[in-house]
Amino acid sequence: MREIHRVSCENPVNKMWNMFVYFESEPHVKQLFDQYYQDKYKADTARLSFQNTRKFIYYIKQGREYFHTASRSADLVKPLLLYYGMVSLLKAFILTADAHYPTHTKVLQHGMTCRKLKKLDYTFSDDEVKIQRDGLFPLVAAHLGSEQLVGEKFKMKNLLAMLPELRAAYEKTYEHVDLEPIHISKHVDYTYPYTTFYLPEHILDKCHLSYSSFIHFLNRYNHGQARFTTHDLEAPQGIIRLNWHHPEQIQVLENPTGFDNDLFIQDYKGNHYFYTKPDAAASFIPEILVHYMLMYTLGMICRYETELWGEMIFSLSSTEMFIIQEFLAINERKFPNMILNLLFQERFIFETK
């Protein structure tokens, strides 16, 4: 991500989708492909850009129509519409990285699998998805630097825990949380070129680490040149104070990739959270793939286990429909935003006036 843009508007969702109109212009898309293809394909750049422009535009248009239709649909069919909208947008993203997509029929598969025949005592939180070697998911994962996910299994409850917008719903549903909100000082002092931020002290107990050991733990999962250090001043009781350093950014809130660290994540409003599981980095998954796995599983239930899906969303005894509905709403808002960020290579935060 090159830059961060905070866009003030009356309707963030409408403004977000209006930004996609940029990618429905052939000159703009050819310019985009020229930018992405010139190093990799050199002399073939012009031909490949021309060849893929309309395909890309129709992926974007189709994805938008799926999402718009989903926004007006009932929960009985919403997961399927959102899933295929996600697939269309992901194909557009893949085309910017692979000019020859699809190279063979195997890449047209989902790239994931889950148990089609559900148990009688089925609960969504205990369901699992397994990543396959071929298909769209491993292709996207590879382009996001997560090739190691092939062959792994992921439980829905653990995936839901990784989404910051679901933190409140997750706590109400499962009575615990794994994401801790971070308080970041907005004060900039050029004498001390770093960002100070605060976390509750009980995080040290969760991670079974001392304050100094916790700093070393964080630095193991940095990307690039960012690093953490201890703060000279003692923090108030129950709080720990830390510093974030970056050679090109003083304020982490102005950095398009945030903390540049696997253990930190942002919601679509730009708020930061820390993932408190000690093994978080070992199982780190890009957020866009977390959304993809969750929606794939819901789509499979919706499509192949229609009676079960009906019972889940209409039964008064269901304990999970609250968090599932929250996820559907968050996905509808955030997933296109994440794709927009990838296509522009810039982070957009849409805020109401």
Domain ranges of the chain: 4-175+288-352, 179-279
pLDDT band for 242, please (50, 70, 90 cuts): very high
d(C-alpha 249, C-alpha 223), whole Å: 14
Please tell me the predicted confidence (pLDDT) of residue 276. Answer: 86
d(C-alpha 350, C-alpha 223), whole Å: 26
d(C-alpha 322, C-alpha 310), whole Å: 14
Please tell me the predicted confidence (pLDDT) of residue 330. Answer: 98
What is the spatial order of strands in the sheet that 272-275 belongs to?
Answer: 179-181, 272-275, 264-266
Model pLDDT for residues 212-237, shown as the tens digit of each residue: 999 999 999 998 889 999 998 888 89
Half-sphere exposure of residue 62: CA atoms within 13 angstroms, side-chain side = 16
Mean pLDDT for the stretch of residues 247-255? 91
Mean pLDDT for the stretch of residues 12-34? 96
**Enclosing H/E stretch for 229:** strand 227-230
Model pLDDT for residues 324-345, shown as the tens digit of each residue: 999 999 999 999 999 999 999 9
Amino acid sitting at position 74: A
Backbone angles phi, psi at 229, to 5 degrees: -140, 165
- Tokens encoding 284: 């780190």
Residue 282 clears pLDDT 70, i.e. is over it: no
Quick check: 289 and 249 in contact, CB under 8 A? no
CA 57 to chain centre: 23
d(C-alpha 199, C-alpha 137), whole Å: 34
Q: Which residues contact 27 (CB under 8 A, 6 or more apart)?
A: none
- % of the chain surpassing 70 pLDDT: 98
Please tell me the predicted confidence (pLDDT) of residue 88. Answer: 98
Residue with structure tokens 């769209």? 136
pLDDT band for 2, please (50, 70, 90 cuts): confident
Sign of the Cα torsion 9, 10, 16, 21 reads negative
Model pLDDT for residues 294-331, shown as the tens digit of each residue: 999 999 999 999 999 998 888 887 889 999 999 999 99
Model pLDDT for residues 175-223, shown as the tens digit of each residue: 999 999 999 988 777 777 899 999 999 999 988 899 999 999 999 999 8
Quick check: 127 and 156 in contact, CB under 8 A? yes
- Tokens encoding 72: 């007006």
Residue 259 clears pLDDT 70, i.e. is over it: yes
d(C-alpha 31, C-alpha 29), whole Å: 5
Mean pLDDT for the stretch of residues 89-95? 97
Model pLDDT for residues 33-48, shown as the tens digit of each residue: 999 999 999 999 999 9
Mean pLDDT computed over every residue of the chain: 92
Quick check: 191 and 250 in contact, CB under 8 A? no
Record the pTM: 0.94
Residue 278 clears pLDDT 70, i.e. is over it: no
Please tell me the predicted confidence (pLDDT) of residue 283. Answer: 62
Please tell me the predicted confidence (pLDDT) of residue 315. Answer: 82
Q: Between these two residues, 353 and 174, which has the higher pLDDT value?
A: 174
Burial environment of residue 102 by CB neighbours within 10 A (0 to 12, 13 to 18, 19 or more): middle
Cis upstream peptide for 102 (omega within 30°)? yes
Quick check: 138 and 94 in contact, CB under 8 A? no
